[in-house]
Structure 1
Amino acid sequence: MFPLRFDVAGTSVEVPVRTLLNAGYAGRSQDDVAAHVAELAELGVPAPTRTPCLYPVAPYLAMQTGEVPAQHGRTSGEAEWALVIAGPREEDVLLTVACDHTDRALEVHGVAWSKQAGPDVLGSRAWRLVDVADRIDSLTLSAHVGGRRLQHGSLGELLTPAYWLDELRGLGLAEEGTVLLSGTIPMDAEVDQFADPWRVELADPATGDVLTCEYTVRQLPEPIA
């Protein structure tokens, strides 16, 4: 078990991560998702057999860190929200900001492999899902890399936390220690996603509150072999 710690309205909540899941192809419009799958197929990324997808990855990849080591220069993040189940009650389900750092060179060989090759970086603050559930679609996600905005959109573009909680219940995974990342929103093709550093924000326009996670990418030395 790998504990994460969140500041939730001034209270520290510790969650030992037992199950870590990355959602993929999780846009609210599955017609748009199908078009995106076709675009990726042209780049050599294998098409999924169904959408949306869930990719189980090692629990130790859920991190709260300011640095991400990478083996080469073709890795990049994705702005996402994360569900964190911190206990058995409805009010124990947390929502926070996350960045799924993915190996793009490995992605063409298998999306699940590419997710396993990098961490899921989560913010240090979280909201209780019940406190924002009535306005979930108005929350916004954005990512900045190398000082430029790479992504910006609303949670209305993605399948909802409620949708994924139902999926987790059906899989028997709606239990303490489960963390699920949402999948991401479109990237601006004019911005270099392989730049550095990364900053992702999950904002609530109704209150002005913003959850953040940020980190730098450190390229590892060449192998000695």
Structure 2
Amino acid sequence: MFPLRFDVNGEVVEVPVTTLLNGGYAGRSQEDVAAHVAELAELGVPAPTRTPCLYPVAPYLAMQPDQVPVQHGRTSGEAEWALIVAGPEERDVLLTVACDHTDRQLEVHGVAWSKQAGPDVLGRKAWRLVDVADRLDELTLTAWAGGEVIQRGTLAELLAPQFWLDDLRERGLLQPGTVLLSGTIPMDAAVDQFADTWRVELGDPKTGDVLACEYQVRRMPEPVE
């Protein structure tokens, strides 16, 4: 298993991922949660029985690739932030940008299954959570599908990192090597999510700093069977 490497203010921090978790339906606003449920319902995905959700994902699916291979044309990303527990101290918790690339065709049969069919793409740069803790709700989250803005919002729309840190602690999962993705914000239904490129940015308006992840979606050859 290859470790993730992050540039944290010029320091390289290496993290072997042991636990990977995806938050779902994690908006602070119930209107946003309902909007996301409605988006997925249009794709045939059944509504959850409770919110927020938490999906364990195979750790090897945490990646920092330039390309994502897919089996068909109905896959897409989701703009998210990610927490990375890089060590035992509070300052070792990192925040970065992420894109959960999901198989929408499989998602109609089960969200948990679909999470295993694509990678969680993480940025190559990260911030220490303590360094931005005083302005988390001001941080911006923006996604482009095929060059068009498909998601735009702030972290105030999602459950706060502290919510998830408390949840991980209760579950005994706040350990070095744990990575958690936040869940996403609503998409613009007028933009085609099934694009051949995805880019997500996490921005800090106070400093002008931006964390980004970007990749091409590459269709694999048809199976021979």
Settle same-fold status: TM greater than 0.5. yes
**How much does 1:47 deviate?**
1.9
Opposite residue 154 of structure 1, the aligned amino acid is T
**How much does 1:43 deviate?**
4.2
Matched, 1:167 2:167: yes
For 1:193 and 1:135, the matched residues in 2 are separated by 30
Gaps of 5+ in 1: none
Opposite residue 3 of structure 1, the aligned amino acid is P
**How much does 1:38 deviate?**
5.1
Q: How does 1:126-145 map to 2 (within 5 A)?
A: 126-145=126-145
**How much does 1:40 deviate?**
3.5
For 1:33 and 1:106, the matched residues in 2 are separated by 21
CA 1:89/1:19 → structure 2, altered by over 3 Å: closer, same or farther? same
Opposite residue 194 of structure 1, the aligned amino acid is F
For 1:92 and 1:198, the matched residues in 2 are separated by 28
SS of equivalent residue, structure 2 residue 212 = strand
SS of equivalent residue, structure 1 residue 50 = coil
For 1:10 and 1:32, the matched residues in 2 are separated by 36
Opposite residue 152 of structure 1, the aligned amino acid is R
Contact 1:2–1:18 under 8 Å retained in 2:
no
* Structure 1 runs (4+) greater than 4 angstroms displaced: none
CA RMSD of aligned residues (A): 1.2
Q: Which moved more, 1:35-44 or 1:101-110?
A: 35-44
For 1:106 and 1:199, the matched residues in 2 are separated by 22
Contact 1:25–1:183 under 8 Å retained in 2:
yes
CA 1:39/1:184 → structure 2, altered by over 3 Å: closer, same or farther? closer
Q: Which moved more, 1:205-214 or 1:36-45?
A: 36-45
Q: How does 1:199-210 map to 2 (within 5 A)?
A: 199-210=199-210
In structure 1, what is the equivalent of residue 92 of structure 2? 92
For 1:38 and 1:192, the matched residues in 2 are separated by 16
For 2:138 and 2:195, the matched residues in 1 are separated by 29
The percent of aligned pairs where both chains have the same amino acid is 79
TM-score between both structures, scaled by the size of structure 1? 0.97
Gaps of 5+ in 2: none
CA 1:39/1:205 → structure 2, altered by over 3 Å: closer, same or farther? closer
